[in-house]
Amino acid sequence: MIIAVDFDGTISRGKYPAIDGEQPYAGEVLRKLHEQGHYIIIWTCRCGERLLEAINWLLEHKIPFNRINDHNPENLAKYGKGGKKVYAHCYIDDKNIGGFPGWIACQEAIEQMEAEYKASQVK
């Protein structure tokens, strides 16, 4: 699955522009999802120097990602240039309706979505 993940308030604690540490389980869950073969896109409003700070922080904390604010190249090859909103199977953001459920809940939801998708492909 392609998973788009916000940075501020979702991976990192604190309010922009501060990076006040990691949200509980963020790195652990993202590493696990990436190891399982999920494609991780960091989807953030950060740009310029602030974006570079976030990228360096992710690298220092060994939090994996495949792209930042950009489409999966396979989708670009299939469908052509995309819009500003990156295509993903799910989006993880602290601004969700109902708020951010936490990383363990996100992992469980993604595992459920993947199981349902795989089950639908068997028929």
Q: Spell out the domain ranges in the chain.
A: 2-122
Q: Is 107 exposed, middle or buried (0-12, 13-18, 19+ CB in 10 A)?
A: middle
| CATH architecture assigned to 2-122 | 3-Layer(aba) Sandwich (3.40)
Q: pTM for the full model?
A: 0.92
What is the SS3 assignment for 54-104?
A: HHHHHHHCCCCCCEECCCCHHHHHHHCCCCCCCCCCEEECCCCCCCCCCHH
pLDDT at 81: 83
pLDDT in single tens digits along all 123 residues of the chain: 999 999 999 999 988 999 999 999 999 999 999 999 999 999 999 999 999 999 999 999 999 999 999 999 998 898 888 788 899 999 999 999 889 999 999 999 999 999 998 888 876
How many distinct helices (H) and strands (E) make up the chain?
4, 4
Model pLDDT, residue 94: 95
Q: Which two tokens stand for residue 82?
A: 């995309």
Residues 46, 20, 88, 66: is their CA dihedral positive or negative?
positive
